[in-house]
Structure 1
Amino acid sequence: MTKEQERARARRRYAKVQAKQAKRQADRARNVRVAAAAGTVLVVVGLLAFLGTRFGGDDEGTPAASSTTAAGCPAPPAALGTGAELELPDKKAAEGKTFLATLTTNCGDIELTLDGTKAPQAAAVFLELARQNYWQDSPCHRLTASEGLKVLQCGDPTGSGQGDPGFGYGVENAPKDGAYPRGTIAMARTQDAKAGTGGQFFIVYGDSSLPDPDGYTVVGTVTAGLDIVDRIAAAGIAPGGSSPTDGAPAAPISILRVAVTEKKA
Structure 2
Amino acid sequence: MAASSRSARETKRRIQQMEAKRELRRDQEKRRKRDNVIAAGAGTAAVVLAVVLQLTAFAGNPSEEEFAAAQADLAGPSASADPSVQATNAANIPAADTAAGKTFTGELVLNGTALGVELDGTKAPQAAAVFKSLSDEGFYSGKTCHRLTTGESFALLQCGSSDGTGEGDAGYRWGPLENTPEDNAYPAGTIAVARSGNNTYGNGTQFFIVYKDTVIPADSAGGYTVVGRVTSGLDTVANIAAAGITPGGSATDGAPVEPVTIDSFSLK
Question: Are 2:118 and 1:113 equivalent residues in the alignment?
Answer: yes
> How do residues 76-225 of structure 1 correspond to structure 2 at under 5 angstroms?
87-164=92-169, 166-213=172-219, 214-225=222-233
**How far did 1:86 drift?**
7.2
> How do residues 34-73 of structure 1 correspond to structure 2 at under 5 angstroms?
none
SS state of the match for residue 249, structure 1?
coil
Query: In structure 1, how many angstroms separate the alpha carbons of the residues matched to 2:155 and 2:92?
Result: 31
Query: In structure 2, how many angstroms separate the alpha carbons of the residues matched to 1:236 and 1:103?
Result: 21
What residue identity is the alignment partner of 2:226? V
**How far did 1:105 drift?**
2.0
Query: In structure 2, how many angstroms separate the alpha carbons of the residues matched to 1:231 and 1:215?
Result: 27
**How far did 1:187 drift?**
0.5
CA deviation digits over 1:16-71, x for unaligned, max 9? xxxxxxxxxxxxxxxxxxxxxxxxxxxxxxxxxxxxxxxxxxxxxxxxxxxxxxxx
Structure 1 runs (4+) greater than 3 angstroms displaced: none
Contact 2:172 2:205 (8 Å CA) reproduced: no
Query: In structure 2, how many angstroms separate the alpha carbons of the residues matched to 1:257 and 1:205?
Result: 20
The corresponding residue for 2:241 is 233
Structure 2: any 5+ residue segments left out of the alignment? 1-89
Q: Identity over aligned residues, as a percent?
A: 50
Query: In structure 1, how many angstroms separate the alpha carbons of the residues matched to 2:193 and 2:246?
Result: 23
**How far did 1:240 drift?**
2.1
Relative to structure 1, the CA distance from residue 163 to residue 256 in structure 2 (aligned partners, 3 Å threshold; closer, same or farther) is: farther
- What value does the CA root-mean-square deviation take over the aligned residues? 1.5
The corresponding residue for 1:255 is 262
**How far did 1:194 drift?**
1.8
Contact 1:171 1:193 (8 Å CA) reproduced: no
**How far did 1:232 drift?**
0.2
The structure whose Rg is larger is 1
What residue identity is the alignment partner of 1:249? P
Aligned residues: 176
Query: In structure 2, how many angstroms separate the alpha carbons of the residues matched to 1:147 and 1:86?
Result: 40
Contact 1:186 1:220 (8 Å CA) reproduced: yes
Query: In structure 2, how many angstroms separate the alpha carbons of the residues matched to 1:240 and 1:201?
Result: 24
Query: In structure 1, how many angstroms separate the alpha carbons of the residues matched to 2:160 and 2:91?
Result: 15
TM-score (norm 2): 0.63
Contact 1:136 1:157 (8 Å CA) reproduced: no
What residue identity is the alignment partner of 1:222? V
Query: In structure 2, how many angstroms separate the alpha carbons of the residues matched to 1:107 and 1:256?
Result: 7
What residue identity is the alignment partner of 1:99? F
